[in-house]
Chains A and B, each alone.
Chain A
């Protein structure tokens, strides 16, 4: 029996558009995911600018309230399911096989399908903007009975969410199957890069909670069209039950959006501090602890709905407990930098900004966890400030850090460092200009999802709107840098960064179509 398996179907490389439609290659699919996320980032960002234009001054300026509500709903759905999740899946596709020393993802055909479902899902979702009754406007949380008042858009919304969920679950199965079965000899679990670890845990979260969302929205669908009363009080159902189901998905979803960021930052900090990551095993256990805790805190989103005192206490303390493993992570990143020979290239700048500003979002999260205080903060701009600090200078900055860090590996070209730094400083300045004032208007009582507001909030809203436009324009520079780097530039070395460590840096820049045809041996 031959000791070599010749798997020839991988030699077939169609060119042109068919290369991208038929591809089963993890790098091609990673690229597709990343470009999809980039396009959706500008669509979702455009919606954010409509929101900020309307809020530039008190009174109704540009859009009617119904459309404003559609914009808040669609902006959230697009940014969460169309940008952050696909971007991290793109990074996973590009990096996990290279990091674990595998030739490709374990399930390449399913990988192709996972991606190509997404453009259909989002075409369906975005098409609702032109339908009778308008796009969904009941908030991304889809609470009934409000969401059931959606017009023709409703079944399109539900089916697009099903497709997004299906895509995520298939992607997650692929990630787990790859990590558990395709590692190079000697690559034990506790030798895996942190990015791989965080994605493994994220994938388990996805498999556990995406079916819950799918179940919840299917019940909404049957309530609207098939006469069931899952959430209809008149028929014996309970609308609060939907909130429990939604947040049982929604809170772990928050960690699905942030855990891969932790992996990215844990890869970048050691490289530019030129020191190994401090506390590797504690990072792994902290990630697993955060994932576990994420399942038992969901009702902190529902304190004002009315839950028993014992429930309020349990969910308050359980939520606060998440600060412990998160604190372990922040401590480890700072300690990795301590006395390191640090340099501040663009990925490192984004990673450090991530640590500082994600921690600000974490602290406001702790404030929101305090049940009696949450009664004051609930549904105000303080909540909007909190989750945008976690998601924009959190997840989005980590994605940008990852792009700058691995782009030379992917393309073989160095990005223009000065432009990268200008992009970083513009983004950091404007992101704070946008979201920091929201803390103040929130504490003063400005409600979220409202197109008009009291005169007392005018100044800070104007500042936030200026910040949002500045941040949006700065991202055009990011697009320019990415395209310029793909087209050419100074050639990158194989290792790219002198402090970089890991299997992906042993491959040429750009890496060959199949990463490791002969598995490397990890010592």
Chain B
């Protein structure tokens, strides 16, 4: 359905994957780091 150039489509797909991975790592890092912050007080 998506009517755009294939290279552009693949480029966007790659960018979406990178954005998602970075954001997921950020969220997980915050989650885990709070245990260390609190337990090392």
Whole-angstrom CA separation of A150 from B38 in the bound complex = 23
Cβ < 8 Å to B, chain A residues 506-523: 514, 517-519
The count of chain B contact residues (Cβ–Cβ below 8 Å) is 25
Contact B16 A7 (CB under 8 A): no
Assuming the contacts A177-B20, A207-B26, A238-B41, asked whether A216 and B1 have C-beta atoms less than 8 A apart, the reply is no
Q: How far is the CB of B31 from chain A (nearest CB, A)?
A: 4
* A454 close to chain B: CB less than 8 A: no
Contact A169 B38 (CB under 8 A): no
* A426 close to chain B: CB less than 8 A: no
Contact A11 B1 (CB under 8 A): yes
Contact B3 A215 (CB under 8 A): no
Among the listed A8, A173, A180, A210, which residue makes an inter-chain contact with B24, where contact means beta carbons less than 8 Å apart?
A: A173
Chain A residues whose CB sits within 8 angstroms of the CB of B26 once the complex forms: 207-208
Give the residue name and chain of the A residue nearest to B17 (CB): A177
Q: List 22 A-B contacts (CB under 8 A).
A: A5-B4, A5-B5, A7-B1, A103-B1, A106-B19, A106-B20, A176-B23, A177-B16, A181-B19, A208-B30, A210-B27, A211-B28, A211-B30, A212-B31, A215-B32, A219-B34, A219-B35, A219-B38, A245-B34, A514-B1, A517-B3, A518-B3
Q: How far is the CB of B13 from chain A (nearest CB, A)?
A: 9
Whole-angstrom CA separation of A238 from B37 in the bound complex = 13
The 3 closest A-B pairs by CB, nearest first: A215-B34, A211-B31, A211-B30
Whole-angstrom CA separation of A6 from B34 in the bound complex = 45
* A230 close to chain B: CB less than 8 A: yes
Contact B31 A1 (CB under 8 A): no
Whole-angstrom CA separation of A517 from B2 in the bound complex = 5
Contact B31 A215 (CB under 8 A): yes
Assuming the contacts A5-B4, A241-B38, asked whether A181 and B12 have C-beta atoms less than 8 A apart, the reply is yes
Chain A residues whose CB sits within 8 angstroms of the CB of B5 once the complex forms: 3, 5
Whole-angstrom CA separation of A106 from B5 in the bound complex = 17
Chain B residues whose CB sits within 8 angstroms of the CB of A192 once the complex forms: none
Among the listed A5, A107, A230, A518, which residue makes an inter-chain contact with B39, where contact means beta carbons less than 8 Å apart?
A: A230
Chain A residues whose CB sits within 8 angstroms of the CB of B15 once the complex forms: 180-181
Give the residue name and chain of the A residue nearest to B28 (CB): A211
Chain B residues whose CB sits within 8 angstroms of the CB of A8 once the complex forms: 1
Contact A10 B34 (CB under 8 A): no
Chain B residues whose CB sits within 8 angstroms of the CB of A4 once the complex forms: 3-4, 6
Assuming the contacts A238-B41, A241-B41, asked whether A207 and B23 have C-beta atoms less than 8 A apart, the reply is yes
Among the listed B1, B9, B31, which residue makes an inter-chain contact with A214, where contact means beta carbons less than 8 Å apart?
A: B31
- Kindly list 9 other residue pairs between chains A and B, CB separation below 8 angstroms, not including A106-B20, A517-B1: A2-B6, A3-B5, A4-B6, A106-B16, A212-B30, A218-B35, A230-B38, A241-B41, A519-B4
Assuming the contacts A181-B15, A211-B27, asked whether A6 and B38 have C-beta atoms less than 8 A apart, the reply is no
Q: Main SS of the interface on chain A?
A: helix
Chain B residues whose CB sits within 8 angstroms of the CB of A40 once the complex forms: none
Contact with B along A174-189 (1 / 0, CB 8 A): 0011001110000000
Q: How far is the CB of B1 from chain A (nearest CB, A)?
A: 5
Chain A residues whose CB sits within 8 angstroms of the CB of B34 once the complex forms: 211-212, 215-216, 219, 245
Contact with B along A1-43 (1 / 0, CB 8 A): 1111111101100000000000000000000000000000000
Whole-angstrom CA separation of A2 from B4 in the bound complex = 10
Chain B residues whose CB sits within 8 angstroms of the CB of A107 once the complex forms: 16, 20
Whole-angstrom CA separation of A212 from B38 in the bound complex = 11
Among the listed B2, B28, B31, which residue makes an inter-chain contact with A103, where contact means beta carbons less than 8 Å apart?
A: B2
Whole-angstrom CA separation of A378 from B27 in the bound complex = 33
Assuming the contacts A5-B9, A182-B12, A518-B3, asked whether A177 and B30 have C-beta atoms less than 8 A apart, the reply is no
Contact B23 A177 (CB under 8 A): yes
Among the listed A172, A210, A215, which residue makes an inter-chain contact with B35, where contact means beta carbons less than 8 Å apart?
A: A215
Give the residue name and chain of the A residue nearest to B12 (CB): A181
Chain A residues whose CB sits within 8 angstroms of the CB of B12 once the complex forms: 181-182
Chain B residues whose CB sits within 8 angstroms of the CB of A180 once the complex forms: 15, 19
Whole-angstrom CA separation of A208 from B24 in the bound complex = 11
Whole-angstrom CA separation of A1 from B10 in the bound complex = 13
From A2, A4, A245, name the one whose CB has the most chain B CB atoms within 10 angstroms: A4
Give the residue name and chain of the B residue nearest to A228 (CB): B39
From A3, A238, A241, name the one whose CB has the most chain B CB atoms within 10 angstroms: A3
Q: How far is the CB of B12 from chain A (nearest CB, A)?
A: 5
Cβ < 8 Å to B, chain A residues 219-256: 219, 230, 238, 241, 245
Chain A residues whose CB sits within 8 angstroms of the CB of B32 once the complex forms: 215
Whole-angstrom CA separation of A519 from B5 in the bound complex = 11
Q: How far is the CB of A253 from chain B (nearest CB, A)?
A: 14
Q: How far is the CB of A110 from chain B (nearest CB, A)?
A: 8
Chain A residues whose CB sits within 8 angstroms of the CB of B30 once the complex forms: 207-208, 211-212, 215
Give the residue name and chain of the B residue nearest to A230 (CB): B38
Whole-angstrom CA separation of A182 from B16 in the bound complex = 9
Q: How far is the CB of B23 from chain A (nearest CB, A)?
A: 5
Q: How far is the CB of B16 from chain A (nearest CB, A)?
A: 5
Among the listed B1, B20, B24, which residue makes an inter-chain contact with A6, where contact means beta carbons less than 8 Å apart?
A: B1
